[in-house]
Amino acid sequence: MATIVTGKNTEVKFGQGLPTVIIAERINPTGRKALAEELKAGRLDIVKNDAIRQTEAGAHIIDVNVGAVGVDEVEMLPKAIKTVMEVTDRPICIDSANHKAIKAALEVYPYKALINSVNGKEESMDEILPLVKESGSAVVCLTMDESGIKNDVQSRVSVARKIIQRADSLGIARDDLVFDSLVMTASTDVNSGKITLETMRQIVEEFGVSTTMGASNISFGMPNRELLNIHFITMSIINGLTAPITDPLIDGLIGAMRAADFLAGRDPYGMIYISDYRKK
């Protein structure tokens, strides 16, 4: 079982047993005042620059999120998608909590996108899953529902099961579901990392699906965050992570992922690891 998304003349495939891919996270105004201000002004220079830099750094998929106060996402998200397509051939992850903005973005994206995201709330499944089916996209599935994010493994696995059942009823292929076991901040709950990893492990064991996570959430409030992010991603790879949402510009990240893929049996004979080493 493998998830496939596409860009111009580009196909990215990921799933259990396959090399890990990076969904590049930088085009997101959360915590980035300069980007938020630029988006409010209707400018996309930072978006364009981030798309180029992340592609050059080795990103496989470019996440695009324009959700900031004062920004009309329905208008701005398609513009940002078109801007990113001008400078990279990487597939795009359309990232918005606004289903109308997602629909508008899908109308300008002529390839197979990854939608971020649906969750177990009835409203979310009713709004997003029909868009997934109609467009033939893949979709990130968050393991939360009307009761919020539960702090136990079985509740999150149950949400995954509910989303899969609804997707099955609509004829959405299991390959197109990418599950996010939800990374919470370790500085406020020392068990949060273990809960995420065990949730992921059980979802993979039961359903064999592709997985993702917003890896940097684990390190909020801690010093040397990049070190923690790298180690959490490598730990997650051995537990079934296939496509982290992270910053490919983090020094040492891609090398650590290549090493983890080799040690996890995802890189036969270490050919990708060796090739990456030779390039450097």
145: domain CATH number? Answer: 3.20.20.20
Structural domain that includes position 81: 3-279
Cβ contact 217:31 at 8 Å: no
Q: Which residue has the tokens 């996010």?
A: 180
In order along its 280 residues, the chain shows pLDDT tens digits of 899 999 999 999 999 999 999 999 999 999 999 999 999 999 999 999 999 999 999 999 999 999 999 999 999 999 999 999 999 999 999 999 999 999 999 999 999 999 999 999 999 999 999 999 999 999 999 999 999 999 999 999 999 999 999 999 999 999 999 999 999 999 999 999 999 999 999 999 999 999 999 999 999 999 999 999 999 999 999 999 999 999 999 999 999 999 999 999 999 999 999 999 998 7
pLDDT of residue 1: 87
**What is the DSSP code (8-state) at residue 214?**
B
Domain count, the chain: 1
Name the 3-class secondary structure at 186: coil
Cβ contact 59:91 at 8 Å: no
Name the 3-class secondary structure at 180: strand
pLDDT of residue 182: 98
Q: Angle 48-52-53 (CA atoms, 0-180°, nearest 5)?
A: 115
pLDDT of residue 78: 98
- Which residues make beta-bridge pairs with 63? 93
